[in-house]
Amino acid sequence: MFKPEELWKQRFSRFVKETGRYLRYILNGHLVIVFLFLLGTGAYYYQEWVQTLTPSFPAAILLAVVLAILLTYSPIFTFLMEADKIFLLPLETKLSDYFKRSILFSLLLQSYLLLMALAVLMPIYAQVSGSGFSKFFLFLLAIIAVKLLNLMVRWQQQYYLDAKIHLIDSLVRFCVNVVFLYLLFSDAAWLLIIVTSAILFMLYWYYRSQTVDKGLKWEALIEADERRMTSFYRLANMFTDVPQMKDRVKRRKWLDWLVARLPFQQNSTYAHIFGRTFLRAGDYFGLAIRLTVIGASALYFISFGLGQILLVVLFLYLTGFQLLPLWSHHQYKLWTELYPVKMETKLRSFQRLLSTILYLQSLAFAMILVFKSDLMTALLSLLAGCLFAYFFVFIYSKKRISE
CA torsion sign for 169, 172, 176, 179 is positive
Length of the chain: 403
- For residue 334, name the pLDDT band (cuts at 50, 70, 90): low
d(CA 269, CA 274): 9
Question: Would you say 272 and 289 are in contact if contact means Cβ atoms under 8 Å apart?
Answer: no
Amino acid at 181: L
Question: What is the chain's percent helix, strand, coil content, to nearest 5?
Answer: 80, 0, 20
Look at residue 2 in the predicted model and tell me its pLDDT: 74
Look at residue 239 in the predicted model and tell me its pLDDT: 63
The mean pLDDT value for 208-220 works out to: 86
User: What are 252-267's pLDDT values in tens digits?
Assistant: 665 665 665 666 776 6
Question: Would you say 30 and 306 are in contact if contact means Cβ atoms under 8 Å apart?
Answer: no
d(CA 323, CA 12): 31
Look at residue 153 in the predicted model and tell me its pLDDT: 94
| Bigger pLDDT: 111 vs 19 | 111
* CB crowding 189-222: b at 16 or more within 10 Å, else e: eeeebeebbebbeebbeebeeebeeeebebeebb
Burial class (CB in 10 A: 0-12, 13-18, 19+), 26: middle
Look at residue 273 in the predicted model and tell me its pLDDT: 74
- For residue 238, name the pLDDT band (cuts at 50, 70, 90): low
The mean pLDDT value for 203-224 works out to: 88
- For residue 303, name the pLDDT band (cuts at 50, 70, 90): low
Question: Would you say 78 and 221 are in contact if contact means Cβ atoms under 8 Å apart?
Answer: yes
Judge whether residue 143 has pLDDT over 90.
Answer: yes
- How far from 117 is each of 113, 186, 262, CA to CA, in Å? 6, 18, 46
User: Picking from 34-43, 195-204, 259-268, which range would have the lowest pLDDT averaged per residue?
Assistant: 259-268
CA torsion sign for 180, 183, 185, 189 is negative
Of 150, 253, 139, nearest in space to 201 by CA: 150
- For residue 124, name the pLDDT band (cuts at 50, 70, 90): very high
The mean pLDDT value for 107-121 works out to: 94
**Contacting residues for 364 by C-beta, under 8 A, at least 6 apart:** 292, 296
d(CA 283, CA 293): 15
Task: Count Cα atoms within 13 angstroms, Cβ side, for 110.
Answer: 26
Judge whether residue 48 has pLDDT over 90.
Answer: no
Look at residue 290 in the predicted model and tell me its pLDDT: 84
Judge whether residue 247 has pLDDT over 60.
Answer: no
Burial class (CB in 10 A: 0-12, 13-18, 19+), 73: middle
The mean pLDDT value for 245-253 works out to: 61
Q: Per the confidence metrics, is the pTM higher than 0.75? A: no
Look at residue 253 in the predicted model and tell me its pLDDT: 63
User: What are 277-290's pLDDT values in tens digits?
Assistant: 777 776 777 778 88
Judge whether residue 237 has pLDDT over 70.
Answer: no
Judge whether residue 352 has pLDDT over 90.
Answer: no
The mean pLDDT value for 137-157 works out to: 94
Look at residue 263 in the predicted model and tell me its pLDDT: 63
Radius of gyration of the chain (CA): 25
User: What are 152-185's pLDDT values in tens digits?
Assistant: 999 998 888 888 888 999 999 999 999 999 999 9
Question: Would you say 148 and 108 are in contact if contact means Cβ atoms under 8 Å apart?
Answer: no
| Bigger pLDDT: 303 vs 197 | 197
